[in-house]
Amino acid sequence: MSPPSSLDASFVFVENHRPRSTSPLAKVQSTSFKKEQTQAFHPSKDLSYWPGSTPSYAHDWSPQATGGGLKIAGRHFVDGYGRVCSLRGVNLSGSCKTPVDHDHNNFPGDHRTVTFVGRPFPLEEAHEHFSRLRRWGLTFIRFLVTWEAVEHEGPGIYDLDYLAYIRSLLGLLPQYGLTAFVSLHQDVWSRYCGGSGAPAWTLECVGFDLHAIEDAGAAWLHGQRGGGHVEAERGLWPCGYQKLSAATMATLFWAGDIFAPKLLVKNQRNQDVPIQQFLQGAFLDMWAVVAQAVGDLDGVLGFQIMNEPHRGYINVPSLHSFDYNTDLHLSHVPSAFESFQLGAGHPTLVSTWTRSFPMPTKHTSHTLLNTSKTKAWRPDGPTQGRCLWEYHDVWRWNNVTDKAVPLRENYFRQHPDSGRKIEWYTDLYFPFAKRWAERVRNVSSDSKLVFLEPIPNEFAPDSWTEERRPSNMVFAPHWYDLNSLFNKAFGNFSVNVQGLSRGMFPLKAFYWGQKGARENFTLQIRNIVENGYRSLGEMPVIIGECGIPMDMNKGEAFKTGNFIYQMRMMDAMLTALEKALIGFTLWNYNPYNNDERGDDWNGENFSWFSRQRASPPAELSFEQTSAGLDEGARILPAIVRPYPAKTAGIPLRFDYEMSKGSLTFEWANPEEAGSGAAISAPGSSSVFDPPRVLQYPLRSRETEIFMPAQLTRSRTVVVGGLKKGDRWFHDAEKQTVFIVTQDTTPGVKHKIVIFVLPSPRPAFVVNDVWSDYGLYIRSSMIILLAIAFYFLRSV
Active site residues: 308, 545
How many angstroms separate the Cα of 73 from the Cα of each of 78, 239, 480, 497?
6, 39, 27, 33
Strand boundaries in 418-526, DSSP class E = 449-452, 473-475, 493-495, 510-512
Q: What is the DSSP letter of 76?
A: E
Q: Which residues contact 548 (CB under 8 A, 6 or more apart)?
A: 481, 484, 490, 566, 569, 570, 573, 606
CA quadruple 727, 731, 732, 734: dihedral positive or negative?
Answer: negative
CA 589 to chain centre: 13
Q: What is the DSSP letter of 17?
A: -
Q: 684: burial class by Cβ within 10 Å (0-12, 13-18, 19+)?
A: middle
Alpha helix stretches (DSSP H) within 335-429: 336-343, 388-391
Rounded to an integer, what distance in angstroms lies between the CA atom of residue 640 and that of residue 81? Answer: 26
CA angle (542 as vertex; 96, 636 as ends), nearest 5: 65
Compute, in degrees rounded to 10, the torsion defined by CA atoms 465, 468, 471, 474: -60
Alpha helix stretches (DSSP H) within 684-768: 709-712
Rounded to an integer, what distance in angstroms lies between the CA atom of residue 261 and that of residue 245? Answer: 18
Cβ contact 181:301 at 8 Å: yes
Cβ contact 453:532 at 8 Å: no
How many angstroms separate the Cα of 495 from the Cα of each of 89, 361, 503, 516?
27, 14, 13, 10
Rounded to an integer, what distance in angstroms lies between the CA atom of residue 795 and that of residue 518? Answer: 48
Rounded to an integer, what distance in angstroms lies between the CA atom of residue 558 and that of residue 566? Answer: 11
How many angstroms separate the Cα of 556 from the Cα of each of 489, 490, 551?
10, 12, 7
Cβ contact 493:539 at 8 Å: no
| DSSP assignment string, 97-129 | GS-TT--GGGTT--TTS---TTSSS-GGGHHHH
Rounded to an integer, what distance in angstroms lies between the CA atom of residue 627 and that of residue 633? Answer: 11
Closest of 322, 306, 38 to residue 184, by C-alpha: 306
Give the H or E element holding residue 577: helix 564-579
Closest of 69, 61, 13, 64 to residue 37, by C-alpha: 64
Q: Which amino acid, 784?
A: L
**Sheet of strand 736-740, all strands in order from the earlier edge strand to the far edge:** 71-73, 76-78, 84-85, 643-647, 702-706, 736-740, 727-731
Half-sphere exposure for 225 (CA within 13 Å, toward CB): 11
Per DSSP bridges, beta strands 736-740 and 727-731 are antiparallel
CA angle (411 as vertex; 410, 412 as ends), nearest 5: 95
Per DSSP bridges, beta strands 716-720 and 749-757 are antiparallel
